[in-house]
């Protein structure tokens, strides 16, 4: 499928990955409608920071993914839907798990139900590597068992299965992309990389963090966005779940050390109890199996391996060190 000229809806367009994806779709010549969370400030989230030339080409729909009527209205006339709107903060899912059911599962149901009724050509549903839980074998391929080790992960397993059930039951053209840990400009400070960068950039020498021993497969946002585009363009992706990751594994602690090195700072790490997951909820190891993405999509991340991670971190640090960007964050507070 060629996206040029297609009417494309992006839910969660006001968020981190969604705003980058929206920019990429505009660059590809798609006719983009950005679904943003309704608010009385008339804020479009990170889209407010985009190039004005991008914003002028957007149709913006303010609504709530939990509202079936609003979702259907937003999707009317659309050829392709990228569904990214979700609650994603793991700590907050311990606090308010019911909101994750409403947003992630029922929100996804609203998308696929409308897609079926409106005969949308393609739905790209966003999963997460958290659905795998701690790796039982590595690399983690798409056949790995699903383990809900947090209410967030459980809600995403439910959302994924809801989306896939519509493909199996009604031939709704759904493809599921499963990104591993994405990082880059605009990411929320609830994630570890922005947490570290914002604390250092704000002049702190003692950095407050959670567990340092778990390993992750970090992916620069441009590579994740490239995966989204390839999934939408690939007819063979319909009905499939496809990991998008780098296949490179690094511990949180080593990542923090690399960030400090790149920022030219000596730091001391203090373990903050409120940033630790409950013992059985911590995902100890994540590393993506990327064979399926390479085979079906021809996807190869440009920021793979340790060298790629360094380059991605350099670009991320440069963005956060800009005073205007750093001012958007509260580095002195824990972001639940």
H/E run at residue 145: none
Calpha distance 22→221 (Å, rounded):
12
Going by C-beta distance under 8 Å and a sequence separation of 6 or more, which residues neighbour residue 185?
A: 221, 315, 316, 319, 320, 325
pLDDT at 278: 87
Reference 112, options 228, 11, 235, 229; nearest CA is 11
Q: What is the pLDDT of residue 297?
A: 98
pLDDT by position in tens, the chain (length 336): 999 999 999 999 999 999 999 999 999 999 999 999 999 999 999 999 999 999 999 999 999 999 999 999 999 999 999 999 999 999 999 999 999 999 999 999 999 999 999 999 999 999 999 999 999 999 999 999 999 999 999 999 999 999 999 999 999 999 999 999 999 999 999 899 999 999 999 999 898 888 899 999 999 999 999 999 999 999 999 999 999 999 999 999 999 999 999 999 999 988 877 778 888 899 999 999 999 999 999 999 999 999 999 999 999 999 999 999 999 998 877 776
Instruction: For 7-182+219-244, give the CATH class.
Output: alpha beta
Residues 6+ apart with CB under 8 A from 171: none
Q: 140 forms bridges with which residues in the sheet?
A: 288
- The pLDDT value recorded for residue 190 is 87
> Burial level of 138, CB count in 10 A (0-12/13-18/19+)?
middle
What are the sequence ranges of the domains in the chain? 7-182+219-244, 183-216+248-286+304-326
CATH 3.40.50.300 is held by the domain 183-216+248-286+304-326: no
Q: What's the pLDDT score for residue 15?
A: 98
* Cα separation, 46 vs 319, whole angstroms: 14
Spatial contact of 11 and 35, defined as CB atoms under 8 Å apart: yes
Q: Is the sign of the CA dihedral 308, 311, 314, 319 positive or negative?
A: negative
Burial class (CB in 10 A: 0-12, 13-18, 19+), 269: middle
pLDDT for 336: 67
């Amino acid at each position: 499928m060629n996206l040029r000229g297609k009417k494309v809806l992006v839910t969660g367009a006001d968020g981190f990955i969604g705003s980058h994806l929206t920019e990429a779709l505009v660059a590809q010549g798609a006719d983009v409608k950005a679904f943003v969370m309704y608010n009385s400030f008339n804020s479009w989230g990170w889209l407010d920071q985009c190039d004005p030339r991008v914003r002028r080409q957007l149709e913006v729909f303010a609504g709530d993914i939990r509202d079936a009527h609003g979702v259907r209205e937003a999707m009317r006339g659309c050829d392709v839907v990228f569904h990214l709107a979700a609650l994603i903060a793991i700590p907050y899912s311990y606090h308010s798990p019911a909101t994750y059911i409403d947003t992630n599962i029922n929100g996804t149901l609203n998308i696929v139900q409308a897609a079926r009724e409106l005969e949308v050509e393609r739905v790209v549903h966003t999963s997460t590597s958290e659905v795998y839980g701690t790796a039982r074998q590595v690399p983690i391929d798409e056949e790995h068992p699903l383990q809900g080790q947090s209410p967030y992960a459980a809600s995403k397993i439910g959302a994924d299965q809801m989306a896939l059930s519509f493909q199996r039951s009604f031939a709704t053209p759904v493809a599921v992309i499963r990104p591993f840990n994405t990082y880059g400009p605009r990411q929320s400070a609830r994630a570890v990389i922005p947490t570290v960068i914002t604390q250092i950039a704000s002049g702190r020498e003692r950095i407050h963090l959670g567990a340092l021993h778990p390993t992750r497969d970090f992916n620069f946002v441009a590579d994740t966005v490239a995966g989204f585009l390839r999934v939408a363009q690939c007819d063979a992706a319909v009905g499939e779940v496809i990991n998008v990751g780098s296949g490179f594994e690094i511990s949180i602690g080593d990542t923090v050390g690399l960030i400090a090195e790149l920022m030219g700072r000596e730091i001391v790490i203090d373990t903050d109890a409120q940033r630790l997951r409950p013992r059985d909820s911590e995902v100890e190891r994540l590393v993506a199996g990327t064979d399926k993405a390479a085979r079906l999509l021809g996807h190869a991340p440009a920021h793979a391996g340790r060298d790629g991670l360094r380059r991605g971190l350099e670009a991320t640090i440069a963005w956060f060190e800009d005073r205007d960007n750093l001012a958007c964050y509260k580095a002195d507070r824990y972001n639940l």
